């Protein structure tokens, strides 16, 4: 373990490094920290003191030790700071302030058209964030990072959306730079499906290392967590499965210019269109879900077929990535087991037995909170990294 006992421009300080052992919230003693790091007890004690001075670590009452002895165990203090999490959708915006464990302290959701452009949407976000922080009685200096999800491809390293099809005015817009004119903290931006994968994992599968989150809504996309890490790929579009061709759709045109894309067959609008061609009076994916919930057989069959189409593409993903969980979310997942059953039918029959032996294909547990929860995770992960803790200590 690298030992840099004083923070410097060149490295990570000892305290921020030690903090990495404490950020999981599990209480530890100075002795166990010394054992884990190989550092002297006195060094550990000094670093724990520094983390307590920052408020990031707090003594934890020890059931075994009573009678006025000083506390011997320490853990992350989630209340020490706050992060802001924003889920900016095509037609809605959801904003939450959470603590450092991702617990939502205050939340706001509004109808918002992303096509209003970045300055209008981000301006609303900044104003709403300041209002929420004030409502909580927190100081805006408690805010340590902001995570933002947007409905389009993002160059994650710069936080700039790249040719997002439904976000006019946002192409290559410097989202972090604009937000930081108002809130001077790190700003992390990613596409909505990636952050939904992070949120789903944090809520329902915290110990799962290999998870694919599939969003089925107006479009279809997936977020991939492999080896415990979100996989963005070279251009930030890893998991973009909506334009993979499925056999059944040979002649169906897609808005991307190709034919037979998964999205042209199995998205909400595509299912609605297929039903209209059968004479069913239905306009949107949401109306399809309503029909399914009322037990309409045509709608149920169409949704189940969409599940099979999605399963066809996911079978290839299972071979490539070998996930242990596939979580299906997005507005069409509200159709429930009918969509999932179609996915399972194809994936379980077409995949190699070993790949599906322990594979769970389930409805998203985080549901409509997946994105805002994932945006919080993105912000927290950055804020609690060694670099993030060093930056806090220097403030
Ligand atoms: Zn397409």
Q: Tell me the CATH number at 40.
A: 1.10.10.10
Report whether pLDDT(165) > 90. Answer: no
Q: Is 375 helix (H, G, I), strand (E, B) or coil?
A: helix
Phi, psi for residue 280 in degrees, rounded to 5: -85, 135
In-domain check, residue 316: yes
Residue 123 has pLDDT above 50, yes or no: yes
pLDDT of residue 338: 96
How many domains, in total, are found in the chain? 3
Last residue of a domain, one of 33, 49, 79: 79
Residue 48 lies in a domain: yes
Tokens of 26: 């599990």
Give the CA count within 13 Å in the CB-facing half-sphere of 361. 28
pLDDT per position as a tens digit, 124-133: 999 999 999 9
Collect all residues with Cβ–Cβ distance below 8 Å to 277 and sequence separation of at least 6.
Answer: none
Q: Which residues surround ligand 1, an ion (CB under 5 A)?
A: 243, 254, 256, 258, 261
**Same structural domain, 202 and 315:** yes
Confidence of residue 91 (pLDDT cuts 50, 70, 90): confident
pLDDT score of 96: 97
Here the CATH number for the domain that contains residue 279 is 3.30.420.40
Pair (351, 382) in one structural domain: no
- CA 114–ligand 1 middle distance (angstroms): 22
Residue 265 lies in a domain: yes
The pLDDT value given to residue 345: 97
| Domain boundary pick from 60, 79, 98 | 79
> How much is the mean pLDDT over the chain?
92
Task: Verify that 217 and 351 share a domain, yes or no.
Answer: yes
The answer on pLDDT for 13 being more than 90 is no
pLDDT at 382 over 70: yes
Q: Which of residues 250 and 221 earns the better pLDDT score?
A: 221
Res 223 pLDDT > 50 = yes
Quote the ligand 1 centre to 251 CA distance (angstroms).
Answer: 12
Q: Write out the two tokens for 270.
A: 């595509």
b/e string for 379-389 if b means 16 or more Cβ within 10 A?
bbbbbbbbebb
Taking residues 38-53, report their average pLDDT: 93
128: nearest Cα among 82, 93, 180: 93
Burial class (CB in 10 A: 0-12, 13-18, 19+), 157: exposed
Residues 106, 70, single domain; the answer is no
Name the pairing type of β-strands 82-88 and 143-150.
parallel
pLDDT of residue 395: 82
- Is residue 191 included in any domain, yes or no? no
Could you tell me how far CA 281 lies from the centroid of its own chain?
35
- Are the C-beta atoms of 192 and 150 separated by less than 8 Å? yes
pLDDT band at 62 (very low <50, low <70, confident <90, very high): low
Round to whole Å and give the CA distance between 310 and 286.
Answer: 18
Report residue 6's pLDDT band, with 50, 70 and 90 as the boundaries: very low
Q: What is the DSSP letter of 185?
A: S
My answer on whether 75 and 85 are in the same domain is no
Residue 236 pLDDT? 84
Do 116 and 253 have their domain in common? no
Look up the domain containing 52 and give its range: 14-79
Q: Rounded to 5 degrees, what angle do the CA atoms 336, 338, 340 make? A: 75
Q: What are the structure tokens assigned to 206, written together?
A: 């915290």
Q: How far is the CA of 221 from the centre of ligand 1 (A)?
A: 12
The helices-and-strands tally (H runs, E runs) of the chain is 14, 15
Ligand 1 centroid, distance to 175 Cα (angstroms):
27
Q: What percentage of the chain reaches a pLDDT higher than 70?
A: 95
Residue 47 resides in a domain: yes
| CA dist., res. 30 & res. 52, Å (int) | 13
End-to-end CA distance of the chain: 26
Does 7 map to a domain? no
Mean pLDDT in residue range 42-49: 93
Report whether pLDDT(65) > 70.
Answer: no
Q: Are residues 350 and 214 in the same domain?
A: yes
382 CA from centroid of ligand 1 (Å): 34
Instruction: Indicate whether 279 pLDDT > 60.
Output: yes
Q: What angle do CA 142, 95, 113 make, to 5 degrees?
A: 140
**Strongest mean pLDDT among 66-70, 82-86, 165-169:** 82-86
Residue 8 lies in a domain: no
pLDDT over 90 (residue 10): no
247 shares its domain with 349:
yes
- Residue 330 Cα, ligand 1 centroid: separation in angstroms? 18
Domain boundary at 24, 53, 79, which? 79
Q: Are residues 227 and 286 in the same domain?
A: yes
In the structure, what pLDDT confidence band is assigned to residue 1 with cuts at 50, 70 and 90? very low
Identify the CA nearest to 229 among candidates 198, 205, 252, 251.
Answer: 198
Q: Do 226 and 354 lie in a common domain? A: yes
Q: Kindly state whether residues 310 and 261 are assigned to the same domain.
A: yes
- Local confidence band at 4 (pLDDT 50, 70, 90 cut-offs): very low
Q: Do 279 and 330 reside in the same domain of the chain?
A: yes
Q: What pLDDT score was predicted for residue 166?
A: 86
Query: Is there a domain that residue 6 lies in?
Result: no
């Amino acid at each position: 373990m690298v030992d840099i006992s004083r923070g410097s421009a060149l490295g990570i300080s000892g305290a921020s490094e030690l903090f990495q052992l404490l950020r999981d919230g599990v209480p530890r003693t100075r002795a166990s920290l010394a054992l884990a790091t190989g550092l002297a007890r006195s060094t550990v004690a000094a670093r724990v003191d520094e983390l307590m001075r920052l408020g990031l670590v707090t003594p934890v009452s020890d059931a075994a030790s009573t009678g006025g002895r000083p506390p011997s165990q320490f853990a992350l203090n989630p209340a020490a700071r706050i992060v802001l999490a924003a889920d900016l959708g095509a037609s809605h915006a959801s904003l939450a302030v959470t603590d450092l464990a991702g617990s939502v302290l205050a939340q706001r959701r509004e109808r918002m058209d992303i096509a209003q452009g970045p300055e209008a949407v981000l301006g609303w976000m900044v104003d709403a964030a300041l209002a929420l922080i004030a409502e909580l009685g927190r100081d805006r200096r408690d805010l340590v990072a902001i995570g933002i999800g947007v409905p389009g491809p993002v160059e994650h390293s710069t936080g700039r959306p790249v040719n997002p099809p439904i976000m006019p005015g946002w192409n290559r817009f410097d989202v972090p730079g604009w937000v930081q004119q108002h809130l001077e903290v790190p700003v992390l931006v990613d596409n909505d499906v990636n952050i939904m994968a992070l949120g789903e994992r944090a809520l329902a599968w915290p110990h799962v290392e290999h998870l694919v989150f599939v969003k089925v809504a107006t479009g279809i996309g997936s977020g991939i967590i492999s080896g415990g890490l979100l996989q963005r790929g070279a251009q930030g579009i890893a998991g973009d499965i909506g334009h993979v061709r499925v056999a059944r759709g040979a002649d169906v045109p897609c808005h991307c210019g190709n034919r037979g894309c998964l999205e042209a067959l199995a998205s909400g609008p595509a299912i609605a269109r297929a039903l209209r061609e059968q004479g069913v009076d239905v306009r949107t994916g949401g109306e399809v879900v309503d029909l399914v919930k009322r037990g309409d057989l045509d709608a149920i069959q169409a949704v189940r077929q969409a599940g099979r189409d999605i399963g066809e593409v996911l079978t290839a993903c299972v071979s490539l990535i070998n996930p242990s969980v596939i979580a299906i979310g997005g507005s069409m997942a509200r159709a429930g087991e009918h969509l999932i059953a179609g996915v399972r039918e194809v994936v379980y029959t077409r995949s190699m037995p070993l790949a599906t032996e322990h594979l769970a294909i389930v409805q998203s547990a985080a549901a409509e909170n997946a994105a805002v929860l994932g945006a919080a995770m993105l912000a927290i992960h950055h804020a609690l990294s060694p670099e993030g803790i060093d930056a806090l200590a220097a403030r």
